[in-house]
Amino acid sequence: MLYIEEVFERIKQRNAQEPEFLQAVEEVFESLKPVMAKHPEYEAANILERMTEPERQIIFRVPWVDDQGMLRVNRGFRVQFSGALGPYKGGLRFHPSVYIGIIKFLGFEQIFKNALTGLPIGGGKGGSDFDPKGKSDAEVMRFCQSFMTELYRHIGPDVDVPAGDIGVGGREIGYLYGHFRRVRGRFENGVLTGKGLAYGGSLVRTQATGYGLIYFVDEMLKYHGKSLKDKRIVISGSGNVAIYAHEKATELGAKVVAMSDSNGYIYHETGIDLAKVKQLKEVERKRIKAYLDDYPEATYVEGQKAIWSIPCDIALPCAAQNDIDYDDAAKLVSNGVIAIGEGANMPCTNDAVKYFLEKDVLVAPAKAANAGGVATSALEMSQNSMRYAWTFEEVDAKLKDIMVNIHQNAYTAAMKYDYGYNLVAGANIAAFLKVSDAMMAQGDY
């Protein structure tokens, strides 16, 4: 058996209850076969087994009191996966589906994504099975304070720097930072990113993942002599990534005809009014169905999956993992899709990605295409260290440069290992080489 297969067998045995983590590892290992064949030194150093075992995993109790005075208990997680390139860096997800396997898959992906940014950040991820939906601001605050009461001892600007992910946005980061400052007794704002502008946040961080995704997709299209102009786009989700992907895609001449939340999707043939979606989601925290109150001519369909039956040129899954499976991929292809931009983490199953590539659909893989968020977080860390703030235009220009470079590096790595224009393999390889060389230089850890 090849080394890569032997290691995967051991990983399967050790993590049998974590299908999402195994899926993420399998996808990376598949890409690495020619690299391992060419570089026996990685096998000799058992790099793959080291890279797939987190450096540290913290699981903790989060008790909090709801508005009725009931004491509730959730579970908190922080997985510090790899510190080879810099402080652990990655978001916090608050969602009822969260368990250790989700946090490990996200943390594993984050190692590679962060390496692709070219900035000095390691990979980590955290979160809780707490559901912020339907909770009052006071309940969310009490939860965040209790969560930070444990987390604060494990993080720091040079140790581990959390940020947002699903269910964690500006409100939650504010409560988390307020409590960190209280228990630490010092203003140390480089400990979290995605902060408000008044206390050390960076301009463009809110927009960064969505904008970065579109900069990457645009680069991919340009490489093939195409552009976003007049393209029909379907986006799943209507959260942070989805909203700012819509904003930038529209600015570049595309038309977004559908968006969703976990209850269903809206379809609006003349183009979805983003200002209305922002008001519903960022201000009122309502369901996407309420879009019809202002636009009765639009359609609302219950359930998430059917959104992929809508004919489009470009599909941007920006909600959760495994959103597009093989059947969805087949529908998208038969309706003429030309490109997929993965805004979410691992939004396509491995067989869906394979199918798209077989059918010559351009795939912008998540680790590369949604790296703009964490890259801008790293820019926020730089500004905090300097006690300085760049303008919107300065940060946006850096973000764009980073996305163009990631595209170039993924493409170069794919070509070098005979994958052609396969950015899924190219991104995995470029990131792997960077992390593994840092690990080799640092000895046997």
Ligand X SMILES: NC(=O)C1=CN([C@@H]2O[C@H](COP(=O)(O)OP(=O)(O)OC[C@H]3O[C@@H](n4cnc5c(N)ncnc54)[C@H](OP(=O)(O)O)[C@@H]3O)[C@@H](O)[C@H]2O)C=CC1
Ligand Y SMILES: O=C(O)CCC(=O)C(=O)O
Q: Containing H/E element for 56?
A: strand 56-65
The strand pairing partners of 94, in sequence order, are 128
Stretch that binds ligand X, among 29-37, 67-75, 159-167, 431-439 (CB under 6 A): 159-167
Side chain identity at 240, as an amino acid letter?
N
Instruction: Kindly tell me the burial class for residue 226, based on how many C-beta atoms sit within 10 Å of its own C-beta (0-12, 13-18, 19 or more).
Output: middle
343 touches, from ligand X, ligand Y, none (C-beta below 5 to 8 Å by class): ligand X
Q: Tokens for 266?
A: 């809206």
Instruction: Please state the closest distance from residue 251 (CB atom) to ligand X, in A.
Output: 19
Question: Rounded to 5 degrees, what are φ and ψ at 416?
Answer: -60, -35
Q: Tokens for 231?
A: 């393209």
How far is Cα 231 from Cα 254, in angstroms, rounded to an integer? 5
When binding is defined by CB under 6 A, the residue of 139, 165, 172, 396 that contacts ligand X is 165
The strand pairing partners of 123, in sequence order, are 82, 89
127 touches, from ligand X, ligand Y, none (C-beta below 5 to 8 Å by class): none
Instruction: Tell me the residue nearest to ligand X as measured from the CB.
Output: 239
When binding is defined by CB under 6 A, the residue of 52, 193, 260, 304 that contacts ligand Y is 193
334 touches, from ligand X, ligand Y, none (C-beta below 5 to 8 Å by class): none
When binding is defined by CB under 6 A, the residue of 31, 117, 146, 345 that contacts ligand Y is 345
How far is Cα 2 from Cα 366, in angstroms, rounded to an integer? 28
When binding is defined by CB under 6 A, the residue of 167, 174, 201, 365 that contacts ligand X is 167
90 touches, from ligand Y, ligand X, none (C-beta below 5 to 8 Å by class): ligand Y
240 near ligand X, judged by CB under 6 A: yes
- Contact criterion met (CB below 8 Å) for 144 and 179: yes
Name every residue whose Cβ is closer than 8 Å to that of residue 408 and which is 6 or more positions away in sequence. none
User: Is residue 434 annotated as part of the catalytic site, yes or no?
Assistant: no
When binding is defined by CB under 6 A, the residue of 373, 379, 399, 428 that contacts ligand Y is 373
241 near ligand X, judged by CB under 6 A: yes
- Contact criterion met (CB below 8 Å) for 1 and 394: no
Q: Which residue out of 113, 125, 281, 367 is catalytically annotated?
A: 125
377 near ligand Y, judged by CB under 6 A: yes
Which parts of 287-316 interact with ligand X (CB under 6 A)?
304
Question: Cα separations (Å) of 166 from 16, 26, 173, 182, 183?
Answer: 25, 24, 12, 25, 25
Residue whose token pair is 């299209």: 221
When binding is defined by CB under 6 A, the residue of 24, 36, 166, 176 that contacts ligand X is 166
Q: Tokens for 45?
A: 């150093």
At 236, is the secondary structure helix, strand, or coil? strand
When binding is defined by CB under 6 A, the residue of 76, 87, 90, 201 that contacts ligand Y is 90
261 touches, from ligand Y, ligand X, none (C-beta below 5 to 8 Å by class): ligand X
193 touches, from ligand Y, ligand X, none (C-beta below 5 to 8 Å by class): ligand Y
Instruction: Please state the closest distance from residue 24 (CB atom) to ligand Y, in A.
Output: 12
When binding is defined by CB under 6 A, the residue of 91, 107, 167, 169 that contacts ligand Y is 91
174 touches, from ligand Y, ligand X, none (C-beta below 5 to 8 Å by class): none
Instruction: Kindly tell me the burial class for residue 65, based on how many C-beta atoms sit within 10 Å of its own C-beta (0-12, 13-18, 19 or more).
Output: middle
How far is Cα 233 from Cα 258, in angstroms, rounded to an integer? 7
Angle at 110 between CA 108 and CA 116, to 5 degrees: 120
122 near ligand X, judged by CB under 6 A: no
237 near ligand X, judged by CB under 6 A: yes
Stretch that binds ligand X, among 10-18, 185-193, 342-350, 413-421 (CB under 6 A): 342-350
For residues 130 to 169, the per-residue mask of contacts with ligand Y, x marking binding by CB under 6 A and - elsewhere, is: ---------------------------------x-x----
DSSP 83: -
Q: Tokens for 140?
A: 């969310």
- Contact criterion met (CB below 8 Å) for 408 and 14: no
Side chain identity at 237, as an amino acid letter?
G
The site for ligand X (CB under 6 A) is made up of: 95, 164-167, 169, 209, 237-242, 261-263, 304, 318-320, 343-345, 370, 373
Q: Which residues are catalytic?
A: 125
The site for ligand Y (CB under 6 A) is made up of: 89-91, 110, 113, 163, 165, 193, 345, 373-374, 377
